[in-house]
């Protein structure tokens, strides 16, 4: 449910609050209480927009119990119910819709006030959240876009699961994020655009006993190395590939911090691994691993660029370079993929 489509009054009915806890203006006189109420109102907005506590937790980068706790605390501020039960679902009431609309309006006004100083002129560091594969693919382009011609500038890249990175982006700890888009994710105040599609492939060392395997069924007893762990990210193509075919989960024997260390493990062990793009093949190891030619394709997904709407103008040059590189990757991915898929 999008708040822009709700035909509810934008005016906030202050009388629906319990008066002993709020001032006559409808604002708490306790700064800590005000901060918590604003957080809970943001949770309410996420619940209304995404339709459930679980989806709101994913969109907000928090746990579902945190959303439930916030709704219980926020309910204490209202004389009327915020939700009514319909079967197993909780449906937001008119009071909840009005509160969510008012909260969204307040957030947009705060964003507008901060727009002129989104990236201060004195701040020379570009803070980027990236997945491990995105760090390899986009690191040089980001450095060139941000630092070239500006000797005082610095690029800081950090990796975490997608939910945490997007929450940090919303909280102002990051300037942009390059990652997959969580299913059903719609973040208030963030712009999102697709960069390119990833077509993951399973790899093994060339002398691996299973290098000629043609089906996931033949890999049931194999051990896998992954890049992770991803705490709450949406993309786990390995487990999804097995789950959708109702096979038992693959055995993960090692977790690596990046794809370079993953490739070294594959070369020196009997483990298998998944690379999301042939561009990640290390030049020194490229001839020592080979893709498995499986009948079942691994799930595809897209990498997206997330930026705060209020920072789009300040990030313009970096965004332009990313778009250009994305176009080149999309054009060349077919050739690279065909090369990687040649029979062993």
How many angstroms separate the CA atoms of 16 and 95, rounded?
A: 8
Q: Please report which residue ranges of 257-304 form alpha helices under DSSP H.
A: 259-267
Helix or strand (DSSP H, E) at 129: strand 125-130
pLDDT by residue for the chain (344 residues), tens only, comes to 444 443 333 233 333 333 334 333 334 444 445 556 777 888 888 888 888 888 888 877 788 888 888 888 888 888 889 999 888 788 888 888 888 887 766 666 655 554 444 444 447 899 999 988 888 888 888 888 888 888 898 999 998 878 788 888 888 889 999 988 877 777 678 888 888 888 889 999 999 999 999 999 999 889 999 887 543 444 578 888 888 888 888 888 988 888 888 899 999 999 999 988 777 786 667 788 999 999 988 888 888 899 888 776 677 777 777 887 777 766 655 444 334 333 32
Q: Is 308 exposed, middle or buried (0-12, 13-18, 19+ CB in 10 A)?
A: buried
Instruction: Label residues 22-42 b or e (16+ Cβ within 10 Å = b).
Output: beeeeebeeeeeeeebebbbb
pLDDT, tens digit, 9 for 90 and up, residues 272-308: 999 887 777 866 677 889 999 999 888 888 888 998 8
pLDDT, tens digit, 9 for 90 and up, residues 42-83: 888 888 888 888 888 887 778 888 888 888 888 888 888 999
Q: For strand 154-158 and strand 125-130, is the pairing parallel, antiparallel, or unpaired? A: parallel
How many angstroms separate the CA atoms of 119 and 276, rounded?
A: 32
Q: Is 155 exposed, middle or buried (0-12, 13-18, 19+ CB in 10 A)?
A: middle
CA gyration radius for the chain?
24
How many angstroms separate the CA atoms of 278 and 80, rounded?
A: 56
């Amino acid at each position: 449910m999008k708040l822009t489509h709700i035909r509810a009054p934008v005016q906030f009915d202050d009388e629906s609050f319990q008066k002993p806890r709020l001032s006559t203006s409808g604002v708490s006189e306790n700064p800590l209480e005000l901060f918590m109420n604003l957080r809970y109102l943001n949770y309410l907005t996420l619940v209304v927009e995404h339709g459930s506590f679980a989806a709101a937790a994913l969109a907000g980068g928090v746990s579902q119990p945190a959303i439930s706790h916030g709704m219980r605390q926020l309910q204490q501020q209202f004389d009327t119910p915020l939700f009514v039960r319909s079967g197993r679902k909780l449906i937001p009431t008119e009071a909840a819709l009005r509160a969510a609309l008012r909260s969204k309006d307040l957030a947009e006004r705060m964003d507008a006030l901060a727009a002129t100083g989104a990236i201060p002129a004195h701040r020379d560091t570009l803070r980027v959240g990236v997945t491990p594969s995105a760090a390899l693919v986009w690191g040089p382009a980001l450095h060139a876009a941000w630092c070239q011609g500006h000797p005082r500038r610095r690029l800081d890249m950090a990796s975490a699961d997608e939910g945490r990175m997007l929450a940090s982006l919303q909280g102002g700890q990051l300037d942009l994020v390059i990652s997959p888009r969580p299913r059903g994710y719609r973040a208030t105040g963030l712009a999102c655009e697709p960069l390119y599609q990833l077509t993951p492939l399973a790899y093994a060392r060339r002398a691996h006993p299973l290098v000629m395997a043609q089906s996931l069924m033949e890999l049931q007893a194999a051990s896998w190395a992954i890049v992770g762990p991803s705490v709450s990210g949406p993309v786990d193509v390995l487990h999804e590939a097995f789950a959708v075919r109702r096979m038992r989960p693959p055995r993960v024997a090692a977790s690596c911090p990046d794809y370079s260390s993953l490739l070294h493990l594959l070369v020196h062990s009997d483990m298998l691994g998944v690379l999301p793009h042939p561009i990640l093949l290390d030049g020194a190891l490229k001839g020592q691993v080979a893709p498995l030619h499986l009948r079942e394709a691994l799930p595809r997904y897209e990498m997206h660029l997330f930026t705060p709407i209020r920072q789009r103008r300040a990030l313009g040059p970096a965004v332009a370079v990313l778009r250009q590189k994305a176009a080149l990757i999309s054009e060349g991915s077919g050739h690279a993929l065909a090369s990687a898929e040649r029979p062993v």
